[in-house]
């Protein structure tokens, strides 16, 4: 059994659409997102994603939920759900301030179909300004 679960080669990939979501259908959009795939010190590929978000919205999502998933669209059939990713963001909690968000998968990605992606997105209530 292989432990290599990163589905892409080394490089940077633009994310067309990305959002955090909770089980109760609350969501927050991530803007200007991309992922970086690199080979780590033990020869295994690893992923780090970056994008812009209002940290205040992450706090809002956490107020009623312990679970936050990330959904990303890399174009075409490359749509994924990352369950419980590791999230790192700036500590600016003003509602109007954007900050860099770093995200890292904590487990293998779950590829989802285009129709599943659109169904998930359609059912969400996005937090707004």
63 inside domain: yes
| CATH code for the domain in which residue 42 is found | 2.40.10
Structural domain boundaries, residue 92: 11-126
Convert the pLDDT of each residue in 107-117 to its tens digit. 888 999 999 99
**In whole angstroms, what is the distance from residue 76 CA to residue 81 CA?**
15
Convert the pLDDT of each residue in 46-59 to its tens digit. 899 999 999 889 98
5 inside domain: no
Regions of the chain short of the pLDDT cut 50: 1-3
Rg of the chain over all Cα atoms, to the nearest angstrom: 15
Number of domains in the chain: 1
120 inside domain: yes
106 inside domain: yes
Kindly provide the residue ranges of all beta strands, DSSP E only, lying in 1-129, ordered along the sequence.
11-14, 17-21, 26-39, 45-53, 69-73, 79-82, 86-89, 99-104, 110-111, 125-126
């Amino acid at each position: 059994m292989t432990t290599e679960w990163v589905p892409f080669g080394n490089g940077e990939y633009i994310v067309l659409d990305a959002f955090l979501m909770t089980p109760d259908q609350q969501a927050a959009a991530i803007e200007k997102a991309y992922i970086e795939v690199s080979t780590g010190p033990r020869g295994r590929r690893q992923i780090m994603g970056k994008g812009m978000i209002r940290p205040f919205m992450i706090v809002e999502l956490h107020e009623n939920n312990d679970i936050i998933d990330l959904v990303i669209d890399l174009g075409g059939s490359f749509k994924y759900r990352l369950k419980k990713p590791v999230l790192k963001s700036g500590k600016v909690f003003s509602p109007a301030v954007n900050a860099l968000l770093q995200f890292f998968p904590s487990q293998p990605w779950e590829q989802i179909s285009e129709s599943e992606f659109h169904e998930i997105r359609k059912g969400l209530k996005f937090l707004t300004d």
